[in-house]
Amino acid sequence: MKAQDISREKSAELFEKAKKYFPGGVNSPVRAFKSVYGTPLFIEKGDKAHLWDADGNEFIDFCCSWGPLILGHNHPAIREAVQAQLGKGLSFGAPTLLENELAELILSNNKYIEKIRFVSSGTEAVMSAIRLARGYTKRDKIVKFEGCYHGHSDSLLVKAGSGLVTFGETSSAGVPKAFADETIVISLNDKKALEQVFVDFKDQIAAVIIEGVPANNGLLIQDKEYIHFLREITKAHGTLLIFDEVITGFRLGFEGAAKYYDIQPDIITYGKIIGGGMPVGAYGASAEIMSNISPDGAVYQAGTLSGNPVAMAAGIAALQVLAQPGFYEKLEKTTQQFVEEIRSFVTEKNYEVKIFTVGSIFWFAFTAQEKIQSAEQIDPASMEKYKVMHRELLNRGIYFGPSGYEVGFISAAHTEEDLNKAVTAIKEALMVTFEG
Ligand SMILES: *Cc1c(COP(=O)(O)O)cnc(C)c1O
């Protein structure tokens, strides 16, 4: 049965105002609810796995700020660390002990990188990693995969059309053609395309970049064998392999997708979880590769607010919890149980929907296909179903990301009660989606 629409009076009012101030009323486009029903909800506060909007509606949150909040909202250890730092100043533009502490916590628990550099966002981390790869290899071209998102820097806002290798079709206005020409886009899970690109652009490719597990355009879980093939072919051609772990880093485990696939990438980028909810990004590599970064080397990269003390304090507090033994095992088990309950329901009902999952990430795909491993396999028409499910979920107090291409996240703050409530709501929402 359809649930009654929640009140969005205050949110709608705030959104009307916001439209006067910001393009589309938002400071990041995905927040605008363009592909789901209604106006965006203006959030007033969050606590544990719960959110409250301006109209006083309460939700169980599965967006988790798009990934960072693996410990949920308002975690006491993070809050206290931030509060303790606030009394000491917000920024110095000089080194602090806190940067050392976060670096040590990461490096001593991650065998895939030897040195790290902190920046302020995932976009900045990836942009810097690309520059490092180009500076290190003295080559210009990079290869990315269709459906992988790596932030909004010029070189990476390029997507593929159809065909084996599509050149320089920009997906954003304002990206110079000359930049786009240096970015080659191929399909995921396609060994032939990968082999061909190294034939066509022999000795020109600085780096191949891939998301640890692609999770920005659905959840496109790659086979381990393919990722190992990617490692081998890049190595054979003197091309660096960049793992963009802005989502998967500290999510699939403390050592992220590198450990999950048992792969040694050349450069790894981080963001989201690493700052415990504050704006932090990072990139890391071997000491040898990192020695190319200024002031040691010729690749320039800087930041006024890099290593910001308040953000570092939040990151340290968050990562200390994540580094505790058993943290990820428990979270994954919880996620598995949650997903299995919904899976058995959709199987019983024979609904055309799959729930893909890795670690504590899940994605609802309205498809009959058993696996979805490349962007082309996603049917855009299936997003209509997501739209209905999203509305029905909001009306039942469940907050999912406002697009069917977005994955959902389970946090350690989701209780059994939260998840049971969510399962019931999801079942009802799916019934409305498929049966009206
Ligand atoms: C979110 C994301 C980015 C961009 O990070 P921002 O902090 O939004 O700039 C880059 N790469 C991946 C894989 C991401 O998920």
379-to-30, 244, 261, 404 alpha-carbon distances in Å: 19, 25, 28, 11
- What beta strand segments (E) does 288-383 contain? 354-358, 361-365
Inter-residue contact 331 to 251 (CB < 8 Å):
no
Query: Residue 165 has what pLDDT?
Result: 42
230-to-183, 189, 197, 198 alpha-carbon distances in Å: 17, 10, 12, 11
Using a 6 Å cutoff on CB, does residue 149 contact ligand 1?
yes
Distance CA 432, CA 2 (A): 6
Using a 6 Å cutoff on CB, does residue 126 contact ligand 1?
yes
DSSP state of 272: G
Using a 6 Å cutoff on CB, does residue 145 contact ligand 1?
no
Query: Residue 179 has what pLDDT?
Result: 87
Using a 6 Å cutoff on CB, does residue 373 contact ligand 1?
no
> What's the CA-to-centroid distance between 87 and ligand 1, angstroms?
30
DSSP state of 4: P
Distance CA 232, CA 224 (A): 12
**SS3 state at 211:** strand
- What beta strand segments (E) does 245-300 contain? 267-270, 281-285
Q: Which amino acid type is present at position 297?
A: G
Please work out, in degrees rounded to the nearest 5, the angle formed at the alpha carbon of residue 296 by the alpha carbons of 283 and 107.
35
Using a 6 Å cutoff on CB, does residue 121 contact ligand 1?
yes
Inter-residue contact 330 to 410 (CB < 8 Å):
no
Backbone angles phi, psi at 97, to 5 degrees: -60, -30
Q: Where are the domains of the chain?
A: 9-74+325-435, 76-322
Beta strand 281-285 with 141-145 is unpaired
- Residue 66: CB atoms within 10 A of its CB come to 18
Query: Residue 159 has what pLDDT?
Result: 67
Query: Residue 172 has what pLDDT?
Result: 81
Question: Model pTM?
Answer: 0.97
| Half-sphere exposure in the Cβ direction for 297 (13 Å, CA) | 15
Residue 74 buriedness (CB in 10 A; 0-12 / 13-18 / 19+): middle
Give the torsion sign (CA, 323, 327, 329, 334): negative
> Which H/E stretch holds residue 267?
strand 267-270
Buried b (16+ CB within 10 A) or exposed e, 99-108: bebbbebbee
**SS3 state at 296:** coil
Q: Which amino acid type is present at position 107?
A: L
Distance CA 121, CA 43 (A): 22
Non-local (6+) Cβ contacts of 380 within 8 A are: none
Which strand ranges, in their side-by-side order, compose the sheet holding 354-358?
A: 354-358, 361-365, 408-409
CA 92 to chain centre: 29
> What's the CA-to-centroid distance between 185 and ligand 1, angstroms?
18
Using a 6 Å cutoff on CB, does residue 147 contact ligand 1?
no
432-to-376, 423, 428 alpha-carbon distances in Å: 27, 14, 6
Query: Residue 174 has what pLDDT?
Result: 86
Torsion of CA 96, 102, 103, 106, to 10 degrees: 180
Beta strand 43-47 with 166-167 is unpaired
Q: What is the pLDDT of residues 92-133, one digit of tens each?
A: 999 999 999 999 999 999 999 999 999 999 999 999 999 999
Query: Residue 171 has what pLDDT?
Result: 72
Per annotation, catalytic residue among 61, 244, 266, 418: 244
Q: What is the pLDDT of residues 284-343, one digit of tens each?
A: 999 999 999 999 999 999 999 999 999 999 999 999 999 999 999 999 999 999 999 999
Distance CA 306, CA 246 (A): 17
DSSP state of 299: B
In CATH, what is the architecture of 76-322?
3-Layer(aba) Sandwich (3.40)
From the list 121, 392, 370, the residue with the least C-alpha distance to 269 is 121
User: Is there a catalytic annotation at residue 149?
Assistant: yes
Backbone angles phi, psi at 58, to 5 degrees: -110, 140
Query: Residue 169 has what pLDDT?
Result: 59
349-to-87, 205, 422, 431 alpha-carbon distances in Å: 56, 49, 18, 9
For residue 212, the ligand 1 atom closest to its alpha carbon is 13
Q: Does CATH place domain 9-74+325-435 in 3.90.1150.10?
A: yes
Is the bond preceding 176 in cis, omega lying within 30 degrees of 0?
Answer: no
Query: Residue 156 has what pLDDT?
Result: 87
Which stretches of the chain score pLDDT less than 70? 159-170
User: Is there a catalytic annotation at residue 244?
Assistant: yes
For residue 66, the ligand 1 atom closest to its alpha carbon is 1
From the list 352, 154, 151, 362, the residue with the least C-alpha distance to 270 is 151
Max Cα distance, the chain (Å): 64
